[in-house]
A = this chain, B = another copy of it.
Amino acid sequence: MLNQSNLDAVFHALTDPGRRRMLEQLSRGPATVSELAAPLPMSLSAVVQHLQVLEASGLVRSEKVGRVRTCRIEAQALSLAEQWINQRRTTWERRLDRLGEYLSRKR
């Protein structure tokens, strides 16, 4: 069962192109906050705020060792959103298939 409030937070996290770029980088492997910030045209404090949104959604978790915070992606939260969309799309496509079969029988 997909949790609705999780989905709210996951889709909200995905609305921002900066946060999506952070997730793209993290999909290639864990990164420190500085590594995440380096390619982005925004301040370190903006990156930290975006990270808080990503962590609240469950898409990212981070761990601080000494003075370095390392972030990694949580594939399960990505799957949750992917499944929701996939279920809607396949329901719609099955409906179109049935409609196509019905119409071809009517010919």
Contact = CB atoms under 8 A, between A and B. Distances in A.
Contact of A82 (B20, B73, B86, B91): B86
A103 interface: no
Count copies of this chain in the complex: 2
B7 A88 contact: no
Contact of A23 (B15, B88, B95): B88
Contacts of A88: 23-24, 27, 73, 78
Contacts of A8: 15-17
A84 B37 CA distance: 21
A98 to B, nearest CB: 10
Interface string A63-91: 00000000001010011011011111101
